[in-house]
Amino acid sequence: MLIKIYPENPNERAIEQVVEVLKKGGLIIYPTDTIYGLGCDITNPKAIEKICRIRGIKPEKANFSFICHDLKHISDYIKPIDNTTFRVLKKALPGPFTFIFNANNNVPKLLSSNKKTVGIRVPDNNIARCIVKELGNPILSTSIKDDDDVIEYSTDPELIHEKYADLVDLIIDGGYGDNEASTVIDCTTGEFEVIREGKGNIEEYL
């Protein structure tokens, strides 16, 4: 199923429809401020396993990130951070960053069996944030890769629909996606170490 949602003013009924799918353990493909993501409710182990099968990876080895609604939401899943880190996050988010933190015990066991860290995103995209807010907990997220040699990520929602319609329950057309992923930053030591250069420039917020 492909549904159109406008990022400037997401339709409430459509958001509720997406959340209903997630609550039933469904998988969705949705827009962010960078690339399109494949996601599910982080509290649903079966849905997480389905995503792992699609991506061909084991849950405990996967580098998934959590899409959160705001800073307060992030604090539910990470160990306490210092004031400096908090100030940078406050300036940089919502934005095209994935911050890696030390995870606390709220991170589902399936995902934290071997890892003590969690990647957190608060994308600057109303659709993604409205879904998470309505759902009440984060969406597990992984990027939609493209088989094309030139384009690393799929940007056209209609082409994504053609490719993934049989694998997921719902695809959101939120307009063309970006072809550049988020910048990944490791904050586990209290420093801001860039692990992957992407769309965001953390230097602007330090």
Go through 55-78 and write b for each residue having 16 or more CB atoms within 10 A of its CB, e for each that does not: eeeebeebebbbbbbeeebbbebb
- Residue range 44-96, pLDDT digits in tens: 999 999 998 988 887 777 778 999 999 888 889 999 999 999 999 999 999 99
CA separation for the pair 202, 183 (Å, rounded): 8
List beta partners, residue 131: none
Q: What is the pLDDT of residue 56?
A: 84
pLDDT tens per residue across all 206 residues of the chain: 999 999 999 999 999 999 999 999 999 999 999 999 999 999 999 999 999 898 888 777 777 899 999 988 888 999 999 999 999 999 999 999 999 999 998 888 766 556 689 999 999 999 999 999 999 999 999 887 655 544 557 788 998 999 999 999 999 999 998 889 999 999 999 899 999 999 999 999 99
pLDDT of residue 57: 82
What pLDDT is attached to residue 113?
57
> CB-based contacts of 100: which residues, under 8 Å, 6+ apart?
117, 118, 119, 120, 184, 185, 186, 187, 188, 195
CA distances from 16 to 33, 108, 156, 179, 189 (A): 21, 24, 23, 28, 38
Q: How far apart are CA 96 and CA 92, in angstroms?
A: 8
State residue 155's pLDDT score. 85
The secondary structure of residue 204, as a DSSP letter, is: G
CA-based nearest residue to 194, from 183, 205, 178: 183
**pLDDT given for residue 106 in this prediction:** 87
**What pLDDT is stored for residue 146 in this prediction?**
59
Q: What is the C-alpha separation between 113 and 131, in angstroms, rounded?
A: 27
Q: Which of 73, 55, 72 is nearest to 64 (CA)?
A: 55
Q: Which pLDDT score, from 0 to 100, does residue 108 have?
A: 80
Q: What is the 3-state secondary structure (H, E, C) of 36-54?
A: CEEEEECCCHHHHHHHHHH
- pLDDT at residue number 187: 95
Residue 77, C-beta contacts closer than 8 angstroms, at least 6 positions apart: 66, 68, 101, 103, 104, 106, 107, 118, 120, 138
